[in-house]
Structure 1
Amino acid sequence: MFNDTSSLLAHLATRRSGKARDMIAPGPDDATLRDIIVLALRTPDHGKLAPWRIVTVAAEQREAFATLLKASWVKENPGAAGLDLSALDQFAHQAPTLLVLISTPVAGSKIPVWEQQMSAGAVGMNLLHAAHAHGFVGSWLTGWAAYSPDVAAAFGAGEDDMIVGYFFLGTAARDLDERPRPDYDDVVRRWDI
């Protein structure tokens, strides 16, 4: 569609999510990851509350993350002990880089919680855009692990906080597939009064 990949239009037209399980090294080094996060923080934030936190999970912490996932799964699903939990191991170890984005709404603020949560979602989208701008592929995943109270608490989430998602970053092992997108006429209409 666009030949100039340095333009913002080309960036928006070419960004797509990759499958975390298909990501390979390299991922962003520490300086590049910092740049990605700093760019992501340039997000709409009504009231300047910064109602979100990002937790980095280093490569040497992935086994502890897998252990946390398995223990939490067994606790929340009695009878799961002894079952094959390899999918949780795979989730914890995929892609070279892992960030956990947490929505941390400021209680008592005049800014509605919903707006604060949308700001956290905007940070998530900016993480994906910034990773793409740096030549990496990203994947925003949720699932059970994003809704587990024990997992959230382990990442420092408070009672009213929630995990927005797990952001896996790395290099695509293969060309990314374009997924079907909504048809413009199906999702956009003119307001008729």
Structure 2
Amino acid sequence: MMPVNAALRDYLMNRRSVGQAFLKEPGPNGSELEQILTMGTRVPDHGKLNPWRLVLFAGEDRAHIGDKLKEMAKARNPGMDETDLERERMRFQPPLTIGVLSAPKPHPTVPEFEQLLSAGNVALNLVNAAFAMGFAANWVTRWYAFDKDAARFLGARERERFVAFVQIGTAAAVIEDRARPRLEDIVSRWQMT
């Protein structure tokens, strides 16, 4: 048996996301980002296919993205008020957002669903890696992950789809934990019928 990793255990027992409104500057610098990306991509990957790809959104690009998302949201929902449109414009305001794309590869024994799960693992690993490096993070999808034109604008290629936008920054507040499910409500033991 391996020895208990108390620091990792304690982190996993207390891990919580930090919402976009509480992610402020600074974000990771170059070497910190490289470490986050390296840790984030160490995931189960049956067939060693790397069936995912990452797109980084940072710096001045955030304002351009926000303007375009606001424009797209208004075109799709002409009745949106200015408050909601402004919310759309601010979606990429955290210091760094990493778009995680599922990029499945044809394979005779690794189904696309399994490749999609690998991409989801990248998203969670990026969140955990950000916290490991002293930052806070949040995993969101939002409408632009599912809208083909918006996804293409954000970097999705043919046959790719966004599974996550991992937002990273410095926590501006201590976030209260949410209620967690009781294990007896979500765990059962298999029994032969």
**Which residue of structure 1 aligns with residue 55 of structure 2?**
55
2:36, 2:129 within 8 Å by CA — same for their partners in 1? Answer: yes
**Which residue of structure 2 aligns with residue 46 of structure 1?**
46
Tell me whether 153-162 or 168-177 shows the greater mean CA deviation.
153-162
Q: 1:121 and 1:65 mapped to 2: Cα distance?
A: 23
Q: Check if 1:119 corresponds to 2:125.
A: no
**Which residue of structure 1 aligns with residue 152 of structure 2?**
153
Query: Which AA in structure 2 matches 1:14?
Result: N
Deviations 1:121-151 (A, max 9, x none): 0000100111111111100011212111112
1:72, 1:148 within 8 Å by CA — same for their partners in 2? Answer: no
2:26, 2:95 within 8 Å by CA — same for their partners in 1? Answer: yes
**Which residue of structure 1 aligns with residue 179 of structure 2?**
180
Q: 2:33 and 2:108 mapped to 1: Cα distance?
A: 31
Secondary structure at 2:110's aligned position in 1? coil
Query: Which AA in structure 1 matches 2:141?
Result: T
**Which residue of structure 2 aligns with residue 138 of structure 1?**
137
Q: 2:172 and 2:8 mapped to 1: Cα distance?
A: 24
**What does 1:81-100 align with in structure 2 at a 5 Å threshold?**
83-84=81-82, 85-93=85-93, 95-100=94-99
CA shift, 1:159, in A, is 3.3
Q: 2:177 and 2:74 mapped to 1: Cα distance?
A: 36
Q: Check if 1:20 corresponds to 2:20.
A: yes
Task: Structure 1: give runs of 5+ residues left out of the alignment.
Answer: none
**Which residue of structure 1 aligns with residue 109 of structure 2?**
110
Deviations 1:1-44 (A, max 9, x none): xxxx9721112112210011111122111110110010011000
Secondary structure at 2:60's aligned position in 1? helix
Q: 1:116 and 1:166 mapped to 2: Cα distance?
A: 18
Task: Structure 2: give runs of 5+ residues left out of the alignment.
Answer: none
Q: 1:166 and 1:101 mapped to 2: Cα distance?
A: 6
Secondary structure at 1:92's aligned position in 2? coil
CA shift, 1:108, in A, is 4.7
* Alignment CA distance shift 1:138-1:6 (3 Å): farther
Query: Which AA in structure 2 matches 1:11?
Result: Y
| Percent identity between the two aligned chains | 35
